[in-house]
Amino acid sequence: MPIKPALVAFHPKGPKPQAVRSVMCPHCSKNFEISKRALSIRCPQCTRPLQFSDFTLRDRVEGDVSTMGHIELDQHGEMSGRLVCGALTSDGNFNGKAMVYGDITLQTHSLTTGTLVAKSLSIAHGASFRGKVEISPKPNISPTSHRLSSHRPLRKTPKRVTTANQTTFKPLI
């Protein structure tokens, strides 16, 4: 008995995500929607992998941080270096360059110095900012200044341990 043509052409699709967020690829500037629960995905245009991990920084961090997720800098947190992320909320100290593909929110106790590039900037009463800001609907990507060549994990600064006659450094990790 032959197969009916309607059953051969039927291809079920996966369920659509209920909660979605709009993101932009930092490599090719393509806008697309993904699930809010997604941790990593490939860009449909350039097929490069994107990470969507959210971080809360509560200690001192130096170096480069790259994620398309939300970075929250706690009141006691400090960061110096380059930052590429989807959104930034700062209530601590930030010193360096930040390329944010969404919103930057500087809360009451934040002290921010350096260069910020984002879609929007919100500064609360009591926050301090010294530096240069570029606000635009599509952030201009400079290949040398903001794009990171690879994703590097967070690095904490070493703790200083002092003994009787010598000082040594002990890593926090």
The pLDDT of residue 67: 86
pLDDT digits (tens, 9 = 90+) for 9-48: 555 666 666 788 878 787 787 888 888 888 888 888 888 8
The pLDDT of residue 8: 55
The pLDDT of residue 22: 79
The pLDDT of residue 149: 40
pLDDT category at 141 given cuts 50, 70, 90 is low
pLDDT digits (tens, 9 = 90+) for 73-100: 999 999 999 998 889 999 999 999 999 9
Residue 133 has pLDDT above 80, yes or no: yes
The pLDDT of residue 14: 65
The pLDDT of residue 143: 45
The pLDDT of residue 54: 85
Residue 61 has pLDDT above 80, yes or no: yes
The pLDDT of residue 13: 66
Task: Please check whether residue 92 is in contact with residue 57, taking contact to mean a CB–CB distance below 8 angstroms.
Answer: yes
Residue 136 has pLDDT above 60, yes or no: yes
Amino acid at 120: S
